[in-house]
Amino acid sequence: MKTFKLKTLALAAALPAALVAGPAIAHDHAAKAAPAMPAATYAPITEAEVLAAQQAWGNALVAIATEYDTKGFAAAKKLAEQVVDGAYGYQMGPVLFKPTLAAAPQTFRTDREGAIAYFVGGNDRYKGDTGFAIKGWRAFEIDNAGILLKGNSATSMGNVTVIDAKGNRTTVDKTWGYVRGPDGKLRIVLHHSSLPYKAG
Amino acid sequence: MKTFKLKTLALAAALPAALVAGPAIAHDHAAKAAPAMPAATYAPITEAEVLAAQQAWGNALVAIATEYDTKGFAAAKKLAEQVVDGAYGYQMGPVLFKPTLAAAPQTFRTDREGAIAYFVGGNDRYKGDTGFAIKGWRAFEIDNAGILLKGNSATSMGNVTVIDAKGNRTTVDKTWGYVRGPDGKLRIVLHHSSLPYKAG
Amino acid sequence: MKTFKLKTLALAAALPAALVAGPAIAHDHAAKAAPAMPAATYAPITEAEVLAAQQAWGNALVAIATEYDTKGFAAAKKLAEQVVDGAYGYQMGPVLFKPTLAAAPQTFRTDREGAIAYFVGGNDRYKGDTGFAIKGWRAFEIDNAGILLKGNSATSMGNVTVIDAKGNRTTVDKTWGYVRGPDGKLRIVLHHSSLPYKAG
Amino acid sequence: MKTFKLKTLALAAALPAALVAGPAIAHDHAAKAAPAMPAATYAPITEAEVLAAQQAWGNALVAIATEYDTKGFAAAKKLAEQVVDGAYGYQMGPVLFKPTLAAAPQTFRTDREGAIAYFVGGNDRYKGDTGFAIKGWRAFEIDNAGILLKGNSATSMGNVTVIDAKGNRTTVDKTWGYVRGPDGKLRIVLHHSSLPYKAG
């Protein structure tokens, strides 16, 4: 983001220097970076934010898997709840989430419970879910085919590869859509993941 | 905004295929109104929200004036602070505010302190401010020339008339710009008010 | 969209009645519906527009298939080009398109040529494409799991079922993302389609 | 905005995995700047675009004044029409325009005719308009108090000073609001200009 310099120093000087405790998106005579303050909810989403959110998702997946392997199901579930609340937008309304391995009639997980069930399983209402996030993942790679920035939302599409402790790799086709949450941080409100198509 | 809970997939499955027919921002098979939940920060701003925010501004002005006349400066200032925090977006970053009667070098009040000083005066750093909101206002009228809805922001322009206890009327030309705050409610981030031009 | 009535008829009368030749999104004292004019490019996307765009996509698929069966490849390809140009946003930049049956290294069709190849095949650079749109489709059904409206963009997720002349049904999990084109009409800029997951 | 052409999928495949590193709105493996293509209508508005649009407005004002002084009213009016069509959004719907010197009942110029009348006068339906743009302006200065970027719209507020051939300076308080036009270029859809307040 470029900022701009003013001409009228008199006016700038008249304003208290610390007043613009604002996000990078809004500039002012006496603008100073205020790194502690999150972006305003209306600030346009940047590519850097999308890339950071993708990394956060991958790190969270590995963290849940590691938690499960070292501390067990309860700890992993608790972490998964925190991840879902922090990374997804279920607290803002429904989320469009089609997990890789979910099937009808529970293909789409538009509510929080369905997302957590998918990640860690152990929910009688989602008997098909064995817990995707607790399959021993230790690393990930993200290869974007493209990212679209649309102002107050953004979308990415590409391949995500998750890697377990033995080095086994699973690659999926993945779309993520983001908006800003009330705290200025990105939240996933769209997630479509699918196994690659194999001809015949 | 209406949000929803997906109660059961069974219900969803029982609905006809052509179902996504409701209003509002996020829809789902089993959509139910959830009136306690504020609009998602990404929900498009509606005209009804803009009109409600305008009425809230007018009501707040009358409330501050009445508080001053009945309870004095300290109470009026406290109320003004609440109004500024609730109706404007200073906590999201700078606000573009050109009050009717503000003059250089303090024409633009991009920070919270400058806005409060304009409304109630009594701030040594804004000696020209005598307190616009404490001038005995008892009623108001808003006559929009137009409203533009732009998705995550909206703008209105028109005349606002404030009326004191004696029936004296003051009409200004006013532009307001809105975004959603972190709580889903509209916040003013643009306010340009000016006295009508009178030819020579 | 609700419009609003004004108080001050004097001002309204002073404005020429036909002045607001505008889209439904912007209102004015003398506002009249101007049905011929498309929505302003900044007008918030409505659910009705999303549903209409979905129907248009399904109708186009059937039209291409019918064109192929009745007039042959050249006619079908020409129609597919028109459909891609009218329904997708390739002329606005890249589109994130993961077709149902596309595989690596050509999974993602971010350019126009890749989309047309997928729909009708016959392109040596996309040898895996046999033409999804020319498989005899005669009807379709769309069952949305949810639609998110985000101001200047919108996203839908759900099932789309395509039906051939013999009544054979193919259901896929589908995400579509829309923005407005320069003509005010919706364009698909995101399309992730996948076969339903079947547990081993 | 930079857009791109996907030249070959081979090139895309040859790129390293961590590639989505470019600037701008839409990224892709083989992203290349395509300077001839305008920004997608959904591309977030940047500060640089706002500053450029402000300069274009000032240059246009000087151009109209100069055209009037050297070629007369008809030429100036023709240029003003081009300027209004190129810089404002009247072709997208109503514009919220409160010119500096316009008075009731014609304070707000929500249609094209009212804007042109204000700039060059000579319109019997706007008898108060003497042509603001034909007053001998030769230079201008813009001093922003702040710019807010909101994704698909942006707003600026500050002082604009216009300077005539004799060096006389007129400073106004000015708010401009922008959206993208169908061609990807910014258009003014909000313009509130007022003479500075002078305390009695």
pLDDT tens profile C107-160: 999 999 999 999 999 999 999 999 999 999 999 999 999 999 999 999 999 999
pLDDT at A123 over 70: yes
Sheet holding B137-149, edge to edge: B96-98, B186-194, B169-180, B153-164, B137-149, C26-28
Cα dihedral across residues B15, B20, B22, B27: positive or negative: positive
Closest-CA residue to C54 (of C129, C158, C133): C158
pLDDT at A19 over 50: no
Instruction: Measure CB to CB from residue B42 to each of A22, A29, A179 and give the nearest one.
Output: A179
Tell me the two tokens of residue A114: 């369905």
Verify whether the Cβ–Cβ distance A28 to B94 is below 8 Å.
Answer: yes
pLDDT of residue B200: 67
Closest-CA residue to D114 (of C16, C31, B155): C16
Residue of chain A whose Cα is closest to the Cα of C154: A153
CB crowding A27-52: b at 16 or more within 10 Å, else e = bbbbbeeeeeebbbbbbbbbbebbbe
Spacing of C-alpha D37 from chain mean position: 19
pLDDT at B24 over 60: no
Span A33-48, pLDDT tens digits: 333 456 788 999 999 9
Residue type, C188: I
Rg (CA), chain B: 20
pLDDT at A78 over 70: yes
Q: How many CB pairs under 8 A join A and C?
A: 127
Assess contact for C183 and C92: CB atoms under 8 A. no
Cα dihedral across residues B147, B150, B152, B153: positive or negative: negative
Rg (CA), chain C: 20
Distance from CA of C12 to the nearest CA of A (A): 33
Range C167-172 average pLDDT: 98
Q: Please, which residues have CB within 8 angstroms of residue B56's CB and are 6 or more apart in sequence?
A: B87
Instruction: Measure CB to CB from residue B110 to each of D93, D101, D146 and give the nearest one.
Output: D146
Closest-CA residue to C160 (of C191, C198, C136, C117): C191
Helix A112-120 vs helix A73-87: angle between axes, to the nearest 10 degrees?
140
Span B100-132, pLDDT tens digits: 999 999 999 999 999 999 999 999 999 999 999
HEC profile of A3-36: CCCCCCHHHHHHCCCCCCCCCCCEEECCCCCCCC
In terms of DSSP bridges, do strands B26-28 and A186-194 run parallel, antiparallel, or are they unpaired? unpaired
pLDDT of residue D40: 86
Closest-CA residue to B158 (of D97, C26, D174, D156): D97
pLDDT at A3 over 60: no
Chain D residues within 8 angstroms (CB to CB) of chain C:
3-6, 9, 13, 25-28, 37, 40-42, 89, 92-94, 104-106, 110-111, 113-114, 125, 151-153, 179-184, 189
pLDDT grade for C200, boundaries at 50, 70 and 90: low
Tell me the two tokens of residue A73: 């199901």
End-to-end CA distance of chain A: 49
DSSP structure string for C146-181:
EEEE-SSEEEEEEEEEEEETT--EEEEEEEEEEEE-
pLDDT of residue D155: 98
Verify whether the Cβ–Cβ distance B27 to C151 is below 8 Å.
Answer: no
Average pLDDT, chain C: 84
Q: Using the 8-state DSSP alphabet, how is residue C88 labeled?
A: B
**Helices (H) and strands (E) in chain B — how many of each?**
4, 6
Q: Using the 8-state DSSP alphabet, how is residue A125 labeled?
A: G
**Regions in chain D scoring below 70 on pLDDT:** 1-38, 200
Span B28-77, pLDDT tens digits: 433 333 334 567 889 999 999 999 999 999 999 999 999 999 999 999 99
pLDDT at A198 over 70: yes
pLDDT of residue A18: 28
Verify whether the Cβ–Cβ distance B151 to C148 is below 8 Å.
Answer: no
Report ipTM for this prediction. 0.83
Distance from CA of A91 to the nearest CA of D (A): 23
pLDDT grade for C39, boundaries at 50, 70 and 90: confident
Alpha helices, H only, chain C: 9-14, 47-71, 73-87, 112-120
Task: Give percent above pLDDT 90 in chain C.
Answer: 78
Q: Which residue has the higher pLDDT, D35 or A104?
A: A104
* Separation CA C106–CA D192 (nearest Å): 51
DSSP structure string for D158-186:
EEEEEEETT--EEEEEEEEEEEE-TTS-E
Q: Which domains does chain D have, with CATH numbers?
A: 41-194 (3.10.450.50)
pLDDT of residue A23: 35
pLDDT of residue C23: 35
pLDDT of residue B137: 98
Tell me the two tokens of residue C32: 């009249």
Assess contact for C121 and C134: CB atoms under 8 A. yes
pLDDT of residue A25: 39
pLDDT of residue D37: 55
Verify whether the Cβ–Cβ distance B149 to C44 is below 8 Å.
Answer: yes
The CA distances from residue B41 to A85, B152, C11, C172, D179, in Å, are 16, 8, 35, 31, 20
Residue with tokens 């749109």: C133
pLDDT of residue D200: 67
Closest-CA residue to C191 (of C105, C79, C123, C115): C115
pLDDT of residue C38: 65
Tell me the two tokens of residue B60: 């707040």
Distance from CA of A85 to the nearest CA of C (A): 19
Span D150-174, pLDDT tens digits: 999 999 999 999 999 999 999 999 9
pLDDT at A55 over 90: yes
Distance from CA of C64 to the nearest CA of B (A): 23
pLDDT at A102 over 70: yes
Instruction: Measure CB to CB from residue B190 to each of D100, D148, D179 and give the nearest one.
Output: D148
Distance from CA of A122 to the nearest CA of D (A): 35
Residue of chain B whose Cα is closest to the Cα of D175: B192
Verify whether the Cβ–Cβ distance B194 to D173 is below 8 Å.
Answer: yes
